[in-house]
Amino acid sequence: MNKKILWITETAVMIAVLVALQAVTKPMGQFVTGSCVNMVLAVSALVGGLWCGVTVALISPVMAFVLGIAPQILTVPAIMVGNTVFVVMLYLLAKDSEGKPALKIAAWLLAAVAKFATLYILVSEVICGLLATSLMDAGMLKAPMLNALPATFSWPQLVTALIGGGIALTIVPLIRKAVKK
């Protein structure tokens, strides 16, 4: 099969799974939805490859905003960056880890911490810190969101990246076997 067609197919499937999980788990809250999203991000990178993972990472927050999951349009670019950091680190650190479970686990843990740190800095420190006054003056950020965003984009991001990445690590070998990759 043509590699480009395979990439398009795998990426489309991962996006479809992502959107379906976001829609179905939305009422279940941040920990369930976020964990599912991180699982799809990790599977996308580890099975579909780097560019599949990056594509899904960029589309995920847009779909979350469309579905009413992302709290503010302001957070969409920050989530794109955080998701991309997660999939790139996971892919680069885990790509040669076949038969090396310690390397795979280290890749997962480092990618989760990097995503958390990225989102915390971008949302809590930049959007709600450095840019808060300007954004509030422009009517783009309201006081209730200024208080809620740091809580949403702090430690829960680490927890959901750890849960989703951990689930992905357990199912990726099964998926690879099923698709003979």
Mean pLDDT of 9-25: 97
Name the fold adopted by 3-178: Arp2/3 complex 21 kDa subunit ARPC3 (1.10.1760)
**pLDDT value of position 1:** 67
pLDDT confidence bin for 70, thresholds 50/70/90:
confident
Residues 60, 77: contact at Cβ < 8 Å?
Answer: no
Mean pLDDT of 37-45: 98
Q: Label residue 26 exposed, middle or buried (CB < 10 Å: 0-12, 13-18, 19+).
A: middle
Summarize pLDDT for 131-152 with one digit per residue, the tens. 888 888 888 878 888 888 888 9
Q: Domain residue spans in the chain? A: 3-178
Mean pLDDT of 91-106: 90
Summarize pLDDT for 113-133 with one digit per residue, the tens. 999 999 999 999 998 888 888
Chain mean pLDDT for the chain: 93
Rounded to whole angstroms, the Cα distance separating 153 from 106 reads 23
Mean pLDDT of 65-85: 91
Percentage of residues of the chain with pLDDT beyond 90? 73
Q: Length of the chain, please?
A: 181
Reported pTM: 0.93
**pLDDT value of position 89:** 97
